[in-house]
């Protein structure tokens, strides 16, 4: 890097480090969505709810890490908090906090063979909305306007390789779309109906930022594709046979216990968040695959 001033090198290193971990991209996208939603699309989302939720997930994670003697890392709980904030509606800060505690708590308590079973944000979201009338999932709060932006950001992650589990996101969206179009054709409905149904902010956030969590999806690609198809089919059934608009979100929590089973049939190395270190020589960045037990 001769000729490049030291500070410029430093900057490049920082940027590469920033984008080396897929979680950083997620954090940036989700935070932008919250800002966009709050200031431009007038979501009813008071800022103190965001703060409370972020605080409770970080706090729970810090506490639990200390308990088991692991190094605290703020990134995962931050993503959980941002997803929760985007999908959970509540008028009560207490419930926002409770959602964060539940989400992160589930990671440490509900485990199987060294992997947590439930997607933390999904767990917090569903349990809270089932237990309390004061909390609910609001699939319709996104108009069609931000959908395109959301789709672009999600696809952007895939194209730039920031989303390590793009196979899950795409399989889910494609299977869900196939089911919606199939239903419309069977009913003789105009195709504007499935197109409208796909323009759901909650669905896209779910596909790109929730189900794609590498920690709670099957280890092998084949297993992941299978898993995404199961989630899509179950979500579709819940939505249209049981008339619950949050079908796909419920489907994830119901099918989560299947993941260890799928891992058994399709064993593969386990995903680890990339480890990299900043050194004068630049970034060392590698994704470590640990062999399955």
Partner 1 sequence: MKQFKYLLSSTIAIAALATAPSASAFCGFYVAKADTELFNQSSKVALVRDGDRTVITMANDYIGDPTEFAMVIPVPTVITKEQVHISDPALLDHLDAYTAPRLVEYFDENPCERRYRKEMMMRSMSAGGPQAPVAMMEDAESLGVTIEESFSVGEYDILILSAEESDGLQIWLEKSGYKVPPKARKTLGSYIKQDMKFFVAKVNLEEKAKQGGEMLRPIAVAYESPKFMLPIRLGTVNAKGSQDLFVYTLTKNGKVETTNYRTQIIPSDKELPIFIKDDFGDFYKDMYKTAANREGGHGVFMEYAWDMNWCDPCAADPLSNDQLQELGVFWLNEGRDDQPMPMRPKMRRPMPMAKNVYVTRLHVRYDAQSFPEDLKFKTTGDKKNFQGRYILRHAYEGQMDCPEADAYRKQVNQRKNKEINTLANLTNWETSYIRQKIKASGKGGFFSEFPEKPKSDWWNNIWPGDQK
- What does the binding site for partner 1 look like in residue numbers (CB under 8 A)? 42, 44, 89-91, 132-136, 138-144, 186-190, 192-193, 196-197, 200, 242-243, 245
Bridge partners of residue 137, in order along the sequence: 88
Gap between the Cα atoms of 244 and 11, Å rounded: 48
| Comparison of 188 and 291: residue with beta carbon closer to partner 1 | 188
From the CB of 164, what's the least distance to partner 1, in Å?
31
* Nearer to partner 1 (CB atom), residue 171 or residue 200: 200
Closer Cβ to partner 1, 19 or 184, answer by number: 184
What's the distance, CA 201 to chain centroid?
Answer: 13
Among residues 195 and 261, whose Cβ is nearest to partner 1? Answer: 195
Neighbours of 33 (CB within 10 A): 24
Least gap, CB of 153 to partner 1 (angstroms): 19
| CA distances from residue 3 to 6, 10, 190, 268, 284 in whole angstroms, order as listed | 9, 13, 62, 44, 22
**Bridge partners, residue 135, by sequence:** 90
Residue 142 or 266: which CB sits closer to partner 1? 142
- Taking the complex as a whole, the smallest distance from the CB of residue 138 to partner 1 amounts, in Å, to 7
**Closer to partner 1 at the Cβ: 77 or 201?**
201
**Torsion of Cα atoms, 192 then 196 then 199 then 201, to 10°:** 180
Q: How far is the CB of 106 from partner 1 (least distance, A)?
A: 22
Cα separation, 206 vs 197, whole angstroms: 14
- Minimum CB–partner distance for residue 65 and partner 1 (Å): 33
Q: Which residue has the tokens 């196979």?
A: 167
Q: Could you please report the per-residue DSSP string of 114-158?
A: TEESS-HHHHHHHHHHHH-TTEEE-TT-S-SHHHHHHHHHHHHHH
- Smallest separation, CB 245 to partner 1 (Å): 4
């Amino acid at each position: 890097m001769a000729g490049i001033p030291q500070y410029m090198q430093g900057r490049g290193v920082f940027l590469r480090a920033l984008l080396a971990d897929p979680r950083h991209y997620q954090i940036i996208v989700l935070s932008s969505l919250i800002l966009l939603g709050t200031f431009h699309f007038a979501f009813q989302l008071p800022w103190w709810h965001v703060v409370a939720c972020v605080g409770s997930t970080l706090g729970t994670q810090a506490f639990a890490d200390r308990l088991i003697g692991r190094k605290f890392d703020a990134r995962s709980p931050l993503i959980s908090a941002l997803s929760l904030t985007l999908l959970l509606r509540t008028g009560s800060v207490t419930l926002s906090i409770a959602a964060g505690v539940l989400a992160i708590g589930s990671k440490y308590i509900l485990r199987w063979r060294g992997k947590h079973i439930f997607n933390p944000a999904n767990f917090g979201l569903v349990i809270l909305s089932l237990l309390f009338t004061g909390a609910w999932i609001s699939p319709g709060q996104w108009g069609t306007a931000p959908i395109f932006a959301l789709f672009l950001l999600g696809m952007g992650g895939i194209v730039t390789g920031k989303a390590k589990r793009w196979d899950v996101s795409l399989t889910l969206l494609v299977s869900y779309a196939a089911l919606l179009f199939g239903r419309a054709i069977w009913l003789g409905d105009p195709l504007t109906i499935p197109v409208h149904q796909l323009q759901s902010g909650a669905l896209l956030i779910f596909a790109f930022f929730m189900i794609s969590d590498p920690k709670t999806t099957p280890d092998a690609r084949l297993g992941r594709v299978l898993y995404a198809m199961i989630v899509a089919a179950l979500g579709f059934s819940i939505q249209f046979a049981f008339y619950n608009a949050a079908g796909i979100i419920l489907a994830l929590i119901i099918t989560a216990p299947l993941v260890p089973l799928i891992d058994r049939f399709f064993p593969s190395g386990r995903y680890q968040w990339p480890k990299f270190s900043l050194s004068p020589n630049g970034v060392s960045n590698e994704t470590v695959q640990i062999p399955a037990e």
